[in-house]
Amino acid sequence: MKIGYPCINETLPCSSATTFRLASYSEERLIKAVTNNLACLEQILAFNVQHGLLFFRMSSDLVPFASHPVNTFNWQEYFAPSLAALGQFIKDNGLRISMHPDQFVVLNSPTETIVQNSFAELAYQCSIIDLMGLDKSAKLQIHAGGVYGDKPMAIRRFADAVHVLPENIRARLVLENDDRSYSLQDCLEIHERTGIPILFDNFHHECLHNGEPMAEALRLAAQTWQPDDGILMMDYSSQSPGDRKGKHTAHIQLDLFREFLTHLQGLDVDIMLEIKDKEASALPALALLRELGYVPSSAGVM
The residues, any chain, with a CB within 8 Å of residue 201's CB and separated by 6 or more, are: 176, 177, 178, 179, 234, 235, 236, 237, 274
> Per rule CB under 7 A, is residue 159 in the interface with DNA?
no
Query: One-letter amino acid identity for 128?
Result: I
> Per rule CB under 7 A, is residue 4 in the interface with DNA?
no
> Per rule CB under 7 A, is residue 65 in the interface with DNA?
yes
> Per rule CB under 7 A, is residue 259 in the interface with DNA?
no
Q: What distance in Å separates the CA atoms of residue 200 and residue 139, rounded to the nearest whole number?
A: 13
**Closer CB to DNA, 20 or 294, in the complex:** 20
The residues, any chain, with a CB within 8 Å of residue 249's CB and separated by 6 or more, are: 237, 238, 239, 240, 241, 275, 276
Near DNA by CB under 7 A, which window of 45-53, 63-71, 155-163, 218-226? 63-71
> Per rule CB under 7 A, is residue 80 in the interface with DNA?
no
Closest CA to 176 of 67, 230, 99, 124: 99
**Closer CB to DNA, 2 or 100, in the complex:** 100
Near DNA by CB under 7 A, which window of 184-192, 206-214, 215-223, 246-254? 246-254
Among 68, 136, 170, 193, interactor with DNA by CB under 7 A:
68
- Is the sign of the CA dihedral 61, 57, 227, 196 positive or negative? negative
Which residues, numbered 181-240, are part of the site for DNA (CB under 7 A)? 181
Could you tell me which residues are beta bridge partners of residue 176?
A: 199
> Per rule CB under 7 A, is residue 279 in the interface with DNA?
no
Closest CA to 294 of 272, 269, 273: 269
Binding flags for DNA, 84-113, as an x/- string (CB under 7 A): ----------------xxxxx-x--xxx--
**Closer CB to DNA, 109 or 194, in the complex:** 109
**Residue 36: count of CB within 10 angstroms of its CB:** 15
Work out how close the CB of 231 gets to DNA at its nearest, in angstroms, rounded to a whole number: 21
Give the angle subtended at the CA of 131 by the CAs of 127 and 133, to the nearest 5°: 120
The per-residue DSSP string of 74-98 comes to -HHHHTHHHHHHHHHHHHHTT-EEE
Among 2, 3, 4, 6, interactor with DNA by CB under 7 A:
6
**Closer CB to DNA, 10 or 135, in the complex:** 10
Work out how close the CB of 286 gets to DNA at its nearest, in angstroms, rounded to a whole number: 19
Q: What distance in Å separates the CA atoms of residue 73 and residue 30, rounded to the nearest whole number?
A: 9
Count of residues interacting with DNA (CB under 7 A): 42
Residues forming the site for DNA (CB under 7 A): 6-8, 15, 17-24, 60, 64-68, 100-104, 106, 109-111, 114, 117, 121, 145-148, 180-181, 244, 246-248, 274, 276
